[in-house]
Amino acid sequence: MRRPTRRFFIGTASTAALAWSGRTRAASVADRVRLAVVGIHGRGVDLVRLFAAQDNAEVVAICDVDSRTFPRPAQLVADATGKSPRTERDFRRLLDDPSIDALAIATPDHWHGPMTVMACQAGKDVYVEKPAAHNVVEGRRMVEAARAHQRIVQHGTQRRSAAHIAEAITYLHSGQIGRVAMARTWIHQQRQPIGHAAPSEPPPELDWDLWQGPAPRRPFYANRVHYGWHWFWDYGTGELGNNGVHGVDLARWGLGVDAPRAVVSGGGKFVFDDDQEVPDTQVVTWEFDQCALMYEHRMWSAHGLEGAAFGVQFYGTNGTLIIDDKGWRVEDGNPAGGPAADPQHAHVANFLDCVRTRNQPNADIEIGHLSTRLCLIGNIAHRLGRKLRFDPSAERFHDDPQADALLTREYDPDFPLPQL
């Protein structure tokens, strides 16, 4: 496939935006929200299943740069609705279609920001998977695009829609465990190494150029596609951005904080002998004015903390509140708690409801950006190997050009970050 020109890349979104301006949105969503799911390997298949199960949604298209991914999600839609979805390899064709109301984005991280901004410019609402963005500048651009174009953008931190977690956070904020000066979150699981790969020709079904998009041009390596990309800085955000963002988001919500004054990260690649660039062992501490937040992961050990592979603890002067996938509970204080509720269907249902009502969703993109930002600057501290001081008003570091450079990236000239 010939590489698209920059003019085509920007012009496509502009054309779609013009097409949208002549439509009546109320009519388009009177019965069902018409969605396209972009990136249909792994989490994207889950989104196809979740949205296809909603009575007020219709998955009308699926999109992936690798046509080998089409059969399974297409069958899921057909089984749920009796109709097969349209298939596309280039998401820009979806932006040109005024009959599509929203995009659900489950691509690699490096596409989240540009694709969301373009979708907003084209008049589409967006459900974008976690982490919100590949870098801090992209995350802020996503927020600006959503506001400028009055779009609903939901971040895929689905625990924001879990009833038991809302109950736990309300209890926490009531002050019943006293003053909370520290929270801790963790994710532990036994991943497998991805091995060492040599450059090779990409499969004919894969548009490797479009897969890379805004990232630097590299040869094809088989252990990057379709999941190993998480562990390379060009495309992913490591385990901290991949799964850690869920716990970091809940901890930030519970602590009631936005930006830290300082961040430090320790750890390294201690176990895996493979091509991964990211740490397989990491501990991050963010310092706020009146509290601290700690995070840790081990990608090679499933032994978690507090009997759970994933969780968040809030340490108060009168007790400790713990949230994990079994529910929430208070220890060392007045007993309280409740069992877990399924957040998955609730989160996509919240998004669909907000598409219709234009209310702000539970995980609005600014919430997603602020939580993702913690993960991103934690990774920057790790990559530079030193403590960093952050200026929230400028959304950059204090007198640190080297760290500031990692708040963004150099974009391939044919795939720039769209301007507003």
Amino acid letter, 274 = D
Structural domain of 88: 6-156
Position 279 in a domain: yes
Please tell me the predicted confidence (pLDDT) of residue 31.
80
The residue whose two tokens read 């990309």 is 229
Position 412 in a domain: no
Question: Residue 62 corresponds to which tokens in the numbers above?
Answer: 């699926």
On whether both 58 and 81 belong to a single domain, the answer is: yes
Considering 132, 156, 180, which residue would you say is the last residue of a domain?
Answer: 156
Position 359 in a domain: no
Degrees to nearest 5, angle at CA 394 with 186 and 113: 60
Question: 137: part of which helix (H) or strand (E)?
Answer: helix 136-148
On whether both 226 and 148 belong to a single domain, the answer is: no
On whether both 23 and 171 belong to a single domain, the answer is: no
Radius of gyration of the chain from its Cα atoms, rounded to whole angstroms: 21
On whether both 111 and 255 belong to a single domain, the answer is: no
Position 353 in a domain: no
Please tell me whether residue 155 adopts helix, strand or coil conformation. Answer: strand
Please tell me the predicted confidence (pLDDT) of residue 44.
97
Q: Give the CATH number of the domain where residue 98 resides.
A: 3.40.50.720
Output phi, psi for 130, to 5 deg: -80, 155
Considering 156, 182, 208, which residue would you say is the last residue of a domain?
Answer: 156
User: Consecutive sets of 10 residues in the chain, 420 residues long: mean pLDDT of each?
Assistant: 42 44 42 96 96 97 98 97 97 98 98 98 98 98 98 98 98 98 97 98 98 98 97 98 98 98 98 98 98 98 94 98 97 96 97 98 98 98 98 97 98 95
Question: Cα(116)–Cα(130) distance, rounded to whole angstroms?
Answer: 12
On whether both 22 and 97 belong to a single domain, the answer is: yes
178: left (phi over 0), alpha (psi -120 to 50) or beta: left
Please tell me the predicted confidence (pLDDT) of residue 30.
58
On whether both 146 and 238 belong to a single domain, the answer is: no
Q: Give the CATH number of the domain where residue 300 resides.
A: 3.30.360.10
On whether both 149 and 164 belong to a single domain, the answer is: no
Position 206 in a domain: no
Q: Contact 40/63 with Cβ under 8 angstroms? A: yes
Position 414 in a domain: no
Considering 156, 184, 213, which residue would you say is the last residue of a domain?
Answer: 156
On whether both 230 and 138 belong to a single domain, the answer is: no
Please tell me the predicted confidence (pLDDT) of residue 24.
35
Domain total in the chain: 2
3-class SS shares of the chain: helix, strand, coil, % to 5: 35, 20, 40
On whether both 298 and 149 belong to a single domain, the answer is: no
Question: Residue 103 corresponds to which tokens in the numbers above?
Answer: 């995009």
On whether both 20 and 145 belong to a single domain, the answer is: yes
On whether both 15 and 106 belong to a single domain, the answer is: yes
Please tell me the predicted confidence (pLDDT) of residue 417.
96
On whether both 59 and 129 belong to a single domain, the answer is: yes
Position 250 in a domain: yes
Position 418 in a domain: no
Question: Cα(251)–Cα(182) distance, rounded to whole angstroms?
Answer: 9
